[in-house]
Amino acid sequence: MTTPPTPRRGGLGTRLLAALALVLVTAGLTAWFVAGAVGPAVFHEHMLRSGVDADAQVISHAEEAFRTASGLALTIALGAATLASLVVSLFLTRRIGASLSALTSAARRVAGGRFDARVPPPGMGAEFDEVAGAFNQMASRLDASEEVRRRLLSDVAHELRTPVATLNAHLEGLEDGVTELNAQTLELLRAQGVRLTRLAEDLAAVTRAESGEIRLALEPIDPVTLLHQAYLTGRDRSEALGVELRVEVDHPLPHVLVDTERMAQVLGNLVDNALRHAGTGQAVVLAASSSAGHVHLSVTDSGEGIAAHHLPHIFERFYRADSARDRASGGSGIGLAITKALVEAHGGTIVATSAGPGAGSRFEITLPLAVTPGP
């Protein structure tokens, strides 16, 4: 059954103009009746005070002349005022209607998926400008989110394509008798399965962290303990790579309130990232310091460095400053996104700095001393 279309109502400009006209008509009639009721009585009182006999015919003629003159003057004045007001009202309603029409048009474009739509400042006052500014800001964020979504889908497809293609190729080889089911084949198939599992787990982890679904078991702990745990976790790999891994803390630090397991995951991701980009004979330094109300944990390497145009994006999902190297090393491209989400779940911040390619990089976490983050 087809729903009958809703009758189209008049536009805002038409209704606003009609409302203003009604106000003017009401004001004119009110002025007319008030003037008719008050004016002659006041005129008659003044005539009596002037010493003219109340029964004199001159008063009647004077009052009649006053009523005629005042009625004509009031009619002309009200007519002119109404005409002028309607002209000004028409101009204003058209301006308001044009501004709202532009906003409506832009909203329809955004609703249709065109997030590049923008509304020019209407110049109708601070309120209209604020609405236009808020709309443009919303559209910009939607545009950025859509770009991230497109890139995310593309990267997920790319990440899945390689292990799935490898698995299919070897399975077909086994079916056709071209490939033997030996230890090397099993190891390769298992590695691709692990890669897919890790990708799924990383996606789930970053989604939970960004949506605030992670429950943190907070406890006070010495930041130096966190650094030493990260050092012990990464020591064997650093020795195998020929990279020096060390902890540098000059003085005792106040405790921080963190989930030890989650913060170990954060520092582990940063150490793993630093070791992956540091060369043989280079160093990775874990350090800590404090300032008013905060503790700063940093992981610094003297490795490849990061170009300036990559820095604003390295915490985004699947973003890689060096795609070839990272994919070859087996990284999913989600580690830093998980790290950022976990740090923010603790009420902290993380920033990355680098002087450029070949100059190393530094990741610094800032944590509050005693803030319990929300669930």
- The pair of three-digit structure tokens given for residue 193, joined into one six-digit string: 């399965």
In 3D space, the residue among 215, 208, 214, 220 whose CA is nearest the CA of residue 371 turns out to be 220
Q: How many CA atoms lie within 13 A of 354 on its CB side?
A: 25
Could you read off the pLDDT of 143-173 as tens digits, one per residue?
Answer: 777 776 776 676 677 667 767 887 888 788 8
Q: How confident is the model at residue 176 (pLDDT cuts 50, 70, 90)?
A: confident
Residue 269 has pLDDT above 50, yes or no: yes
Residue 372 has pLDDT above 50, yes or no: no
Strand partners, 288: 297
Name the residue type at position 322: D
Q: How confident is the model at residue 85 (pLDDT cuts 50, 70, 90)?
A: confident
Residue 183 has pLDDT above 90, yes or no: no
Q: What is the pLDDT of residue 172?
A: 85
Could you read off the pLDDT of 36-53 as tens digits, one per residue?
Answer: 666 666 666 666 666 665
Q: What is the pLDDT of residue 286?
A: 94
The percentage of the chain sitting over the pLDDT mark of 90, rounded to a whole number, equals 10
Could you read off the pLDDT of 290-349 as tens digits, one per residue?
Answer: 888 889 999 999 888 888 888 888 887 766 665 444 444 445 567 788 888 889 888 899
In the predicted model, what is the mean pLDDT of residues 255-274? 88
Chain mean pLDDT for the chain: 76
Q: What is the pLDDT of residue 374?
A: 43
pTM of the predicted structure, to 2 decimals = 0.53
Residue 24 has pLDDT above 90, yes or no: no
Q: How confident is the model at residue 57 (pLDDT cuts 50, 70, 90)?
A: low
Dist. CA 28–CA 309, nearest whole Å: 67
- Checking phi first, is residue 358 left (phi over 0); if not, alpha (psi -120 to 50) or beta? left
Q: How confident is the model at residue 251 (pLDDT cuts 50, 70, 90)?
A: confident
